[in-house]
Structure 1
Amino acid sequence: MTASFAVDAVVLDIEGTTSATGFVVDVLYPYSRARFGALLAERGGEPAVARAIEQVRAELGDPGAGLDRVEETLHGWLDEDRKATPLKTLQGVIWAEGFAAGDLVAHFYDDVVPALRAWHAAGVRLYVYSSGSVAAQRAWFASSPAGDLLPLVSGLFDTENAGAKQEPGSYRRIAAETGVAPGRLLFLSDRPGELDAARAAGWLAVGVRRPGEPYFEQGVGDHVEAGSFDEISVSGSGSTV
């Protein structure tokens, strides 16, 4: 069964929605873990890195925490899969360079790229809202197996520029930033708490439920459910796909 929506924009989660969580956990997390120490020691003066270090220290309540403790904290957050902004910032720096160097190629489910291209061609704007940093998102979409997908994307949002993904205020902020009325925004995610927050902000929402993903057994609550992007139809600018 296909779920149909008349919208001006689709906002995409990444992990579990466009892409396999397992790729992030099994490939990207170890890649960043192995490089945190060198990044902190060698590039701590760079603005993005310095800001993240100070954010970690603030989270610890210890302004004088040494880089060893900062790195240890990052590793702990990684083990917890904690969506901490400084962790995501530093991962984004590392991953962006890995993608640029050709060490990494992003994963997308087979149904995703054709749908994104069709929706974009139909006049529907595409945005990304992920707990991963904007830098990581940009590198991810620029380094897909199908080539650079960034020309399809109108904007990128993370927990730093939009807010926490389970807070309705974050979705109101994105609506204001994009200039799209909440009722004309469709959010795709595998996480029920995020779908609830989007709906509370007046958005439309679809739970993407893929076998093997962490939230598959939990389901998507009372939200519309799709097993792939092939089961979602969106219309924009007078066209339907």
Structure 2
Amino acid sequence: MTFIQAIILAIIEGITEFLPVSSTGHMIIGSSIMGIQQDEFVKLFTVAIQFGAILSVLVLYFKRFFKTIDFYLKLIVAFIPAAVFGVLFSDKIDELLESPMTVAISLVAGGIVLLFIDKVFNKNTEDNADNIKYPTAFIIGLFQCMAMIPGVSRSAATIIGGMSQKLTRKAAAEFSFFLAVPTMFAATAKKMYDFYKDHGASFSGEQIKLLAVGNVVAFIVALIAIKSFITFLTKYGFKVFGIYRIIVGLIIIALLMSGHPLSIL
């Protein structure tokens, strides 16, 4: 992986982490298009730079993270399902990270859901993410587990989970952002530990630079993307994202079924 490729992947991550289009899926496709070999470090990189993106949540919602202990307890409750599933199915998840076809199918399936989600939950009234109950937090956490399939989108899964519990689009999106912090921190820490353990040595100087550049770029781009997404989502809903997912997914499926390797670089 070159530094230019790392920057491109980080831009993709920053834009898509909080959109319901699957950041991991887009980075897998981006890696395939750029011809990046899917070795252990590349798999680590695609997870680790998500940490840079979620740091933007801490900056933009700084005051929300210093309110009550209850806020953190709800995040822990919502985080538990993903933590359990992540440990139990870690190897299988890694296998799926190598499959553009899995991403494409998930994009299409998720896109179809997003076409109708606004009409299904058009009477939600709870507009404050701080008011959710513990059972609601846990249910949202269960929805988050679906995002372990590349292409599903953690953001889409958790926002839909929140809307299924009477949260408005805005409130569901904000809780999804908050939940990203412990989830992606844990995912990044685990990936780095596994990489260190399996290789029996620390990261090389170039790998450290790639991770640093990737996280900084993802952080900056995500700062812009979050505010834009909240404004767009509140005004227009999910339909545009559903159409986008379906189009991209179908194009990828068509290319893969025709024998196209996706790599163009």
By percentage of residues, which structure has more strand? 1
Higher RCO structure, 1 or 2 (CA under 8 Å, sep 6+):
2
TM over 0.5: no
By percentage of residues, which structure has more helix? 2
TM-score, scaled to structure 2: 0.29
